[in-house]
Amino acid sequence: MEFVQEHYLLLLIPMISAVVGWFTNFLAVKMMFYPIEFIGIKPIFGWQGLIPMKRREMAEIEVELVLGKLLSVQEIAGRLDADEISKNIHRRLKQVIRKVVNDVMQEAAPTAWASLPAQGKNLVYARIEMDIPNVVRKIISDFKHNVTEILDIKELVVTQLVNNPKLINEIFLSAGAKEFPFIEKSGLYFGFLLGIPTMITWIYYPVWWVLPLGGLIVGYLTNWIAIKIIFEPKNPIKVGPFTLQGMFLKRQEEVARVYAEIVDKKVMNSENITDIVLHGSGSDNLLELIELHVNDAIERYVSITQPYFALGVGSKNYYRMKQLAAQRLFENTGKYMLYAYEYAHGALRIGDDLCEKMQALSPEEFEGVLRPAYQADEWKLIVTGAVLGMAAGFFQIYFIFN
């Protein structure tokens, strides 16, 4: 009976190692992503998921390794058709322009505008509305030629992911949908297997430090082995009937589709692109472009009577009127451009383009999609596993084999 009890306790060593391996890996994965916001007392006591905490750095790495290399703003913008955009926004733009004209004239030339009869105002509106497709075509054409000065992919992606930490979690969790559960489960299997040498060592050398050291090694190796299996070997290696390659790299086509879909729908969609174009670092360049074409249009509208018109409103007010008109149109861009979102989304084809190019990446390049999630603080996850494993070893010493 004593023999059975003694060996029963020994069997607990690999079983506890299995539990430790599973728990440390489970905890390591959760610590990468949760909590989204810092919980505790800053700056020392508390925790925030490693990915949300370093989301700016992660986003910049993703752009540098993947998006910035694969997507060209010139190529994307080149797919826009000015006539299609004009057709989609025409009705709403007409309404916006009427209000802009009315507001600008009341502010820049109130007396002249008030004295103009309704029929005269309608003629002004009609003349401007007739020219809308022409002006839109010119603005879109110049936008395409100067898009690199107006739209910055890095700024767009980093802004979206920094402002929405849940989104960067979603990208990594979706890309690693099979790898992260594997890490958790593998801790159970590797923990059990690695616990067997600890048990054998304890049978022949039952010194107090054997179990804590064994637990430390189990906690360390289960994390390390799991991460290695995900990314190594990079290129397929034939071993008899089997082909060995990192789990994540084997799923390149599948991951590319999932990753590209999220980027297309939630990061680089028409709405977000419009927002960064209007409020990002290149917005001044867009305003300058709009001013150029609005001023040109106004000059053409009043070309016949311009000397008398400028005298009537005053040259200072005349130039102020042109400046205000461009500024107001720019400020109201979001109101009419939203009617082109659906067309633009289909025309830009960012998701299809990104997916195709990601699937063509080499294994070394494709690793950059998910690897940053581990590399930044990989050592923390492994050390956490080692510390917890050692704690489990001390637990066995004091409560089981005391």
pLDDT number for residue 261 = 92
**133 and 83 Cβ atoms separated by less than 8 Å:** yes
What 3-state class would DSSP assign to 246? coil
Tokens of 208: 């107090």
Average pLDDT score over residue span 240-258: 81
pLDDT at 1 over 60: no
d(CA 228, CA 374): 11
pLDDT at 173 over 50: yes
**392 and 301 Cβ atoms separated by less than 8 Å:** no
Residue 120's pLDDT band (boundaries 50, 70, 90)?
confident
d(CA 301, CA 134): 13
**Residue 29 — left, alpha, or beta (φ > 0 → left; ψ -120 to 50 → alpha)?**
alpha
Digit-coded pLDDT (tens) for 372-390 = 655 656 677 778 778 888 8
HEC string for 292-312 = HHHHHHHHHHCCCCHHHHHHH
Average pLDDT score over residue span 107-121: 80
d(CA 246, CA 225): 12
pLDDT at 351 over 80: yes
pLDDT at 189 over 50: yes
Of residues 24 and 274, more confidently modeled: 274
